[in-house]
Amino acid sequence: MEWIADWLFIIPLAPLVAAAVNFLLGRWWIRDRAHWIAVPAVGISFLASIPAFLAVARQHGPLTQHLYTWIPAGDFQVPVTLYVDQLTAVMLLVVTGVSFLVHLYSVGYIDGDSGYHRFFAYLPLFVFSMVMLVLASNFLVLFVFWEAVGLCSYLLIGFWFRRRSAADAAKKAFIVNRIGDFGFGIGVMLLFVTLGTLNYAEVFERVETLSAGTVTAIALLLFTGAVGKSAQVPLFVWLPDAMEGPTPVSALIHAATMVTAGIFMVARTHPIFVASPTAMLVVAIVGAITAFIAATIAVTQYDIKRVVAYSTVSQLGYMAIALGAGAWIAAIFHLFTHAFFKALLFLGSGSVMHGLHDELDMRRMGGLKRYMPLTYWTFLIGAAANAGILPLAGFWSKDEIIVGAWVAGYPVIALIALAAAFFTSLYMFRAVFMTFHGEERFDRAHLHPHDPPWTMSVPLVVLAAGAALAGFVGVPPEQGWFHHLLEPVFEGTAHHEVSPVTTLAFGAISTVIALAGLYAAAAAYVLGAISPAAVAERLGPLYRLAYNKWYFDDIYQRLIVEPARGFATFLWRQIDVGIIDAAVNGAASLVVWTSQLWRRAQTGLVANYVLAIALGTVIIVGAYLVAGSNLFR
Amino acid sequence: MAIEVLIFYLLAGVAIAAAAGVVLARNPVHSAVSLVLSFVNVAAIYVMLRAEFLAVAQIIVYTGAIIVLVLFVLMLVQQQDLPEFHGGRPLRRAVGFLLGLALLAEVAAAILTRSLRGAPGSWTPEAVAAVGGNIQAIGRELYSVYMLPIQATALLLLAATIGALFLARPELIEERLAIARRLFTISLAHPRGVDPLQPVAELPAPQDGQLKLAGGDRALVMARSAEEFTEQPAWGEIRR
Amino acid sequence: MDWEALIISYLFGFVLLNVLLLLMAYMTWFERRLVAFFQDRIGPNRTGPFGLLQPIADAVKLISKEDIVPANADRLIFLVAPLLSFVLAPLGALVVPFGESITLFGRQINLYVIDINVAALYFLAVGSMGVYGIILGGYASGNRYSLLGALRSTAQVISYELVLGLSLVGIFILTGSLSLVEILRAQQRTLVLGGLELPNWFILSQPLAFVLFLIAAVAETNRAPFDLPEAETELIAGYFTEYSGFRFSFYFLAEYINMIVVSLIAATLFLGGIDGPFADGIWWLAAKAFIFLFFYVWLRATLPRFRYDQLMGLAWKVLLPLALINIGMTGLVRLWGIGAL
Amino acid sequence: MSELTTAHFLFLSAALFIIGMVGVLTRRNVLIIFMCVELMLNAVNVSFIGFAWEQNALTGQIFALFVIAVAAAEAVIGLGIVMALSRRLDTVDIDEVRQLRE
């Protein structure tokens, strides 16, 4: 398998070529055949990732391939080198695998859209960017593709750009991400200023030489980037709006590419975070708040995709908790399992939408179990996995995170995470029950729900299998195959011993909590024992708080957007029009005025111009002769 | 006096006389014929200067193509409209001749006092003969040292061809340009759509259940196709 | 340059000119007879045996006719234009080699007037000058039909000039020289095709160029089926409508001399010129040129005239691309031959 | 001057150039002005080739070759403009074309 070290470039190249071909030729030649290129290309990428993974797993050492030197500026060398260690290998499998399934799904989903070729140009470009982000061996390359991922998400969220809401959502995603990226960029610059290098290996080697304050600053700035990309509080607002993009894009963003980038980045740069306990604590706290807030919001939403979206935010919060608690492997493990069930949930809701002609509101669904059995069962598996029901994938990884937080000495955070787990289970099963159980609340006269075509159902089945089984690579907890695989990467970080008793205890607790959530959902939406409306009434302000997403958007609107707009208006009215334009216009008027004097010389007669030229020639030649220039002697 | 000098004076005299004829002839066709005569004599002088290839190029390009084209245009343009030479502008004529005389005096002085000479080149007559003649020598020089300029010249001629076509048939070129623009532009997202802040009633009428309320009671317009909201195709868009 | 060689060259040129004139005269007879046979007629057969004295009778008749100058003609140009045509026509023959050299009166005499290293281009240059006789004649007549004929001719000759020149580039690439003597020498080698040993005539290695040259040459000499400038049925004889007497005969002469010169050049460039067994080279050259002349007459007797747009379309859309393809292919083969590919 | 020197060719060049210049200055017909410009270009070529002959260098000849190529391009565009001019304004008199003033 070692031969793959020379062929690593295939992994990013295949999607790039697909993107380029569809981009350049798509409009007038490829059109509806765009998937003929894109799907196999991402497939190739996935197939090439497998030997890379096997090689890394077998030899326990990283693979590198130097492609070229991007910036050779004296001492400052930025090589583009592909770097695959265990962490990257896992990410590669997740990214390319999920992306491939999403591509396959998209063939059926986007079929017939006038932007078909455009979609299949952006999608591989997204995969390329993410793969390069994962493969980077250097902060600058990482940053470039960090931005490229942002750009692709902008393009894809705004794919239906004729819809104002989609265009706005795309802009929102881009701008919110830019805020995080700004911090990230400063962090990278700070690294370069203090250490003089941007290569991972050298940075991690020298990070100990820095003062505690500097490391904390760098770590927090880097984490700002992760907050933006991975949708943590307070920058998570873009992710639910990103639902405006086509559903496969949501699946891609939520499961494989975009949002995992932040988690991956923190894990990748863990030596920096390990050097700063303060930063670790901040990460854990932000994660806990995110997990809880997002879970509560998800409970109150009616838009099926938004429920799943807030669920993503919440799960990303869990990953951040793990990162902050130093349970690195648990974070990656959750990322890995989450990719399966989150992609599954999105594709599942996509096929619900497909069956119901783009219906999104769960209040107008119900009883779909009978019409779309395949979608139902796969969605159920995904939901159960997300809710952490034993023995599905989510249970193992989430449980490990909570245990990790507990043993790392963050009991409060562990408790918050447990509370969030209850809400997770509640909103997940709420979604299942509202959508698939109960009476049919959709317009049965016009809508005939049905399971989707094979290109869409195959990914569902594959992902459902993954969601059910992926957890077992990490069994038994803390000692699983997955942990042994990733251990070399996180060698040398403090490792808290976990006693089997703790593990078992927390396993039992979270199972109970998950089942409690399941029961609550069933009671409210299937058995009818509880009236959701009455509960909402009782909770009053708390319910409204959650329903309005904790007023984050409104606060931003009031505190940032409106003052910024006001300031911009001031600049426009006063500075731009009053001073700059006035100066420019004044200069122009001056020119006009002086030109009025000179225009008399313009007779419009070519003959006169020619005469002037000839006169000039005679004078210049004469001047040369008289001045005794050496032109002629 | 050597025979070469005699031949030179003969050729140069005819060339100059013919050139004067270009300026003096009333009829532009006579001017053109004079110009041909002048060019042919200059070409003969090129032969004397060991530039056989240029002599032939001069005849083929200048007399064989350019002046023929001038004649062509002369005949297409209405003959009656050709302005007379002595168009009642004696001042301009006088100034022109004066300037010409002044320049001639200056250049003559420059030629006669000239002393600056560059280093002699390596293409002696023997060296030229060694590679097979003038044309081979020029070929070697042209396609090694002057590779880039000759490519640029090719480009210039192409541009001139297109320019001439544009001057002659603007509508033809514009049609092609429009097609090319449509086919080869790559457009990124170009937001054009429906404002969600508008009241629902003012939105386009729902077509086939396409308009609906999404979660959060927000008006969501599902516009999968361009036709729904835009009368005009987006810039560069091809409708299916 | 020594005086002796110069005088010999002049003498040879003089002889050549006279031979050309004689040949031209009998070319008219030959054409009339042949076309008559093609059309199942007899043709001129009264003047002398087989009508052989007919050209002389024609010449006498033309010279003794009245020389008419139209009232609104541009007189000077009207008088000069046919002379121009007539003078330029035989100039091309000066570079045709009629053999290597012979010894006459104890003196080495080259059987060509001049051997310049731009001979082929010189032939093209003289050809491009020939158009002036037509365009000036058409213009000077002060007659719309003549002007139209002249304009047509201009466009046609410029277009086909290009094809004519480009069709020869393949030969230049293969010989590495523009001198007709060099080209002739290159054809005296043998071309081995498989087991077959053939003379290295360029008709074999440049068949496409040969066809292009042939077509372009016919157009260049304004002969049927490309004789649009003088189309009797549309332009009442085009640019020489107003000409009469011996001025008319100059145009007439020029056309036939052009044919002969082009045939000689074609025979030299593509058919190995003087190359051939048993007999002196000059007879071979004559025989080969005769083939072309026969071909000319045959074409005239057989093909109808092109429409004008077809004519221009053929030159720019068919022949020119083919010529470029031929150049590209020849270049590639040549590079492959010297091992650069 | 019993032998040919560069001065001969330079004088020829100067004479042709100045004749061309005078033509440009005095004539009104666009086409004749055009021909005079060609004459000036050709005069410059004579200088180039004369210098090349004097210095045993090919640079002058090659420069002249480029001048011929550029002259061809100029002829194509120039004549195209003349055609457009006569079609639009129905004149080729340079004194009647005064759009440059606007």
Q: Say what the pLDDT of residue C309 is.
A: 82
C-beta separation of D73 from B156 below 8 A: yes
DSSP letter at A359 equals: -
Residue B188 scores a pLDDT above 60:
no
Q: C117, C59, C96, C55: which is closest to C274 by C-alpha?
A: C96
Q: Residue A447 and residue C208: Cα distance in Å, rounded?
A: 69
Q: Say what the pLDDT of residue A542 is.
A: 82
pLDDT digits (tens, 9 = 90+) for A251-273: 888 877 788 899 999 999 988 99
Q: Say what the pLDDT of residue B229 is.
A: 45
Report the chain B residue with the minimal C-alpha distance to residue C146.
B75
Residue A286 scores a pLDDT above 90:
yes
pLDDT digits (tens, 9 = 90+) for C120-130: 888 888 888 88
Report the chain A residue with the minimal C-alpha distance to residue D98.
A604
Inter-chain residue contact D98 with A607, CB threshold 8 Å = no
Chain B neighbors of D71, CB-CB under 8 A: 61-62, 66
B158 contact C CB<8A = no
Interface chains of chain B (3 or more CB pairs under 8 Å): A, C, D
Q: Residue C53 and residue C59: Cα distance in Å, rounded?
A: 10
Q: Which of C116, C124, C176 sits opposite B52 (nearest CB)?
A: C116
Chain A neighbors of D25, CB-CB under 8 A: 607, 610-611, 614
pLDDT digits (tens, 9 = 90+) for A291-349: 999 999 988 888 888 899 999 999 999 999 999 988 888 899 999 999 999 989 988 88
- For residue A459, the surrounding DSSP H or E stretch is helix A454-469
- Grade residue B185 by pLDDT with cuts at 50, 70 and 90: low
The DSSP bridge partners found for residue C104 are C107
D19 contact A CB<8A = no
Spell out the residues 6+ positions from residue C65 whose beta carbon is closer than 8 angstroms to its own. C244, C245, C246
Residue C334 scores a pLDDT above 90:
no
Interface test with chain B among D6, D79, D82, by most B beta carbons within 10 Å = D79
Average pLDDT, chain A: 86
Interface test with chain B among D24, D33, D40, D42, by most B beta carbons within 10 Å = D42
Q: Which of B27, B33, B60 sits opposite C125 (nearest CB)?
A: B60
Q: Is D71 helix (H, G, I), strand (E, B) or coil?
A: helix
Q: Say what the pLDDT of residue A438 is.
A: 81
Q: Residue A484 and residue A503: Cα distance in Å, rounded?
A: 18
The residue extents of the domains of chain C are 3-337
The lowest-confidence range among A336-350, A388-402, A606-620, C224-238 is C224-238
Interface test with chain A among B182, B188, B203, B231, by most A beta carbons within 10 Å = B188
B30 contact C CB<8A = yes
C-alpha neighbours within 13 Å on the C-beta side of residue C97: 24
C-beta separation of B51 from D67 below 8 A: no
Q: C64, C101, C58, C111: which is closest to C264 by C-alpha?
A: C111
The lowest-confidence range among B22-31, B195-204, C229-238 is B195-204
The amino acid at A558: R
Q: A98, A94, A119, A122: which is closest to A108 by C-alpha?
A: A119
Report the chain A residue with the minimal C-alpha distance to residue B115.
A633
D24 contact A CB<8A = yes
Higher model confidence: residue B105 or residue B81? Answer: B105
- Grade residue D58 by pLDDT with cuts at 50, 70 and 90: confident
Cα-based distances in Å from A437 to A363, A434, A440, A447, A474: 12, 6, 8, 17, 33
Residue B223 scores a pLDDT above 60:
no
- Token couple for B3: 């025979």
D71 contact A CB<8A = no
D5 contact B CB<8A = no
Q: Which of B53, B68, B134 sits opposite C131 (nearest CB)?
A: B68
The lowest-confidence range among A52-56, C210-214, C219-223, C336-340 is C336-340
pLDDT digits (tens, 9 = 90+) for A167-218: 888 988 998 999 899 999 999 999 999 988 888 888 888 888 888 889 999 9
Higher model confidence: residue B116 or residue A578? Answer: A578
Residue A32 scores a pLDDT above 70:
yes
D68 contact B CB<8A = yes
DSSP letter for each residue of A198-213: -BHHHHHHHGGGS-HH
Q: Say what the pLDDT of residue C287 is.
A: 82
D1 contact A CB<8A = no
Mean pLDDT of A534-556: 82
Q: Residue A137 and residue A78: Cα distance in Å, rounded?
A: 10
- Grade residue C233 by pLDDT with cuts at 50, 70 and 90: low
- Grade residue D80 by pLDDT with cuts at 50, 70 and 90: confident
Higher model confidence: residue C138 or residue D67? Answer: D67
Q: Say what the pLDDT of residue B235 is.
A: 42
Inter-chain residue contact C116 with B30, CB threshold 8 Å = no
- Grade residue C266 by pLDDT with cuts at 50, 70 and 90: confident
C-beta separation of C98 from C25 below 8 A: no
Chain C neighbors of B48, CB-CB under 8 A: none
Inter-chain residue contact D56 with B85, CB threshold 8 Å = no
> Count of B–C CB contacts within 8 Å?
78
DSSP letter at A630 equals: T
pLDDT digits (tens, 9 = 90+) for C273-331: 777 676 676 777 888 888 888 888 888 888 888 888 888 888 888 899 999 999 998 88
Interface test with chain A among B85, B95, B198, B224, by most A beta carbons within 10 Å = B224
Cα-based distances in Å from C12 to A17, A337, C87: 71, 100, 17
Higher model confidence: residue A181 or residue A455? Answer: A181
Q: Is C339 helix (H, G, I), strand (E, B) or coil?
A: coil
Residue B179 scores a pLDDT above 50:
yes
Report the chain C residue with the minimal C-alpha distance to residue B76.
C151
Task: Report the DSSP pairing between strands C101-104 and C107-110.
Answer: antiparallel
- Among residues 122-151 of chain B, which lie with CB inside 8 Å of chain D? 122-125, 127, 137-138, 141-142, 146, 149
φ and ψ of A452, to 5 deg: -75, 170
Q: Say what the pLDDT of residue B129 is.
A: 79
Residue C224 scores a pLDDT above 70:
yes
C-beta separation of C288 from C56 below 8 A: no
Higher model confidence: residue A415 or residue C337? Answer: A415
Q: Say what the pLDDT of residue B85 is.
A: 45
pLDDT digits (tens, 9 = 90+) for A564-619: 888 988 888 888 888 888 888 889 899 988 888 887 777 777 777 888 888 998 89
pLDDT digits (tens, 9 = 90+) for A11-24: 999 999 999 998 88
The lowest-confidence range among A277-291, A523-537, A578-592, C192-206 is C192-206
Q: Say what the pLDDT of residue B41 is.
A: 92
* 0.95 surpassed by complex ipTM: no
Q: Say what the pLDDT of residue A291 is.
A: 92
What is the distance, to the nearest Å, from the Cα of residue A223 to the centroid of all Cα atoms in its chain?
14
B93 contact A CB<8A = no
Inter-chain residue contact D73 with B93, CB threshold 8 Å = no
Q: Say what the pLDDT of residue B15 is.
A: 93
Inter-chain residue contact C150 with B27, CB threshold 8 Å = no
- Token couple for C317: 């859309």
Q: Say what the pLDDT of residue B233 is.
A: 41
Gap from A585 CA to chain B (nearest CA, Å): 31
Q: Which of D21, D94, D102 sits opposite A606 (nearest CB)?
A: D94
CA dihedral A275, A277, A280, A282 (to 10 degrees): -130
Q: Residue A585 and residue B16: Cα distance in Å, rounded?
A: 56
Inter-chain residue contact C125 with B75, CB threshold 8 Å = no
Chain D neighbors of B77, CB-CB under 8 A: 31, 82-83, 86, 92
Q: Which of D29, D69, D93 sits opposite B157 (nearest CB)?
A: D69
Task: Report the DSSP pairing between strands C190-193 and C196-199.
Answer: antiparallel
Mean pLDDT of B123-128: 81
Chain C neighbors of B37, CB-CB under 8 A: none
pLDDT digits (tens, 9 = 90+) for A78-96: 888 899 988 999 999 999 9
Q: Residue D93 and residue B81: Cα distance in Å, rounded?
A: 8
In terms of Cβ atoms closer than 10 Å to its own Cβ (0-12, 13-18, 19+), residue B155 is exposed
User: For chain A, what percent of residues have pLDDT higher than 70?
Assistant: 98
φ and ψ of B225, to 5 deg: -120, 150
Touch of C by B (3+ CB pairs closer than 8 Å)? yes
The DSSP bridge partners found for residue C196 are C193
Domains delineated in chain B: 1-81+125-145 (1.20.120.1200), 148-184 (no CATH), 189-240 (no CATH)
Report the chain C residue with the minimal C-alpha distance to residue B74.
C139
Report the chain A residue with the minimal C-alpha distance to residue D97.
A605
Q: Which of A607, A609, A614 sits opposite D21 (nearest CB)?
A: A614
Average pLDDT, chain C: 80
Q: Residue A337 and residue A344: Cα distance in Å, rounded?
A: 11
pLDDT digits (tens, 9 = 90+) for C76-98: 888 888 888 888 888 888 877 77
**Across C125-139, D54-68, D76-90, which has the greatest mean pLDDT?**
D54-68
Residue C232 scores a pLDDT above 70:
no
Report the chain B residue with the minimal C-alpha distance to residue C129.
B64
Q: How many CB atoms lie within 10 A of CB A47?
A: 15
- Grade residue A43 by pLDDT with cuts at 50, 70 and 90: very high
The lowest-confidence range among A540-544, B21-25, C189-193 is C189-193
C-beta separation of A90 from A264 below 8 A: no
Cα-based distances in Å from C248 to A225, C17, C235: 93, 20, 16
C-alpha neighbours within 13 Å on the C-beta side of residue B199: 2
Domains delineated in chain D: 6-95 (1.10.287.3510)
Chain A neighbors of D28, CB-CB under 8 A: 607
Find out whether the peptide bond into C199 is cis, omega within 30 degrees of 0. no
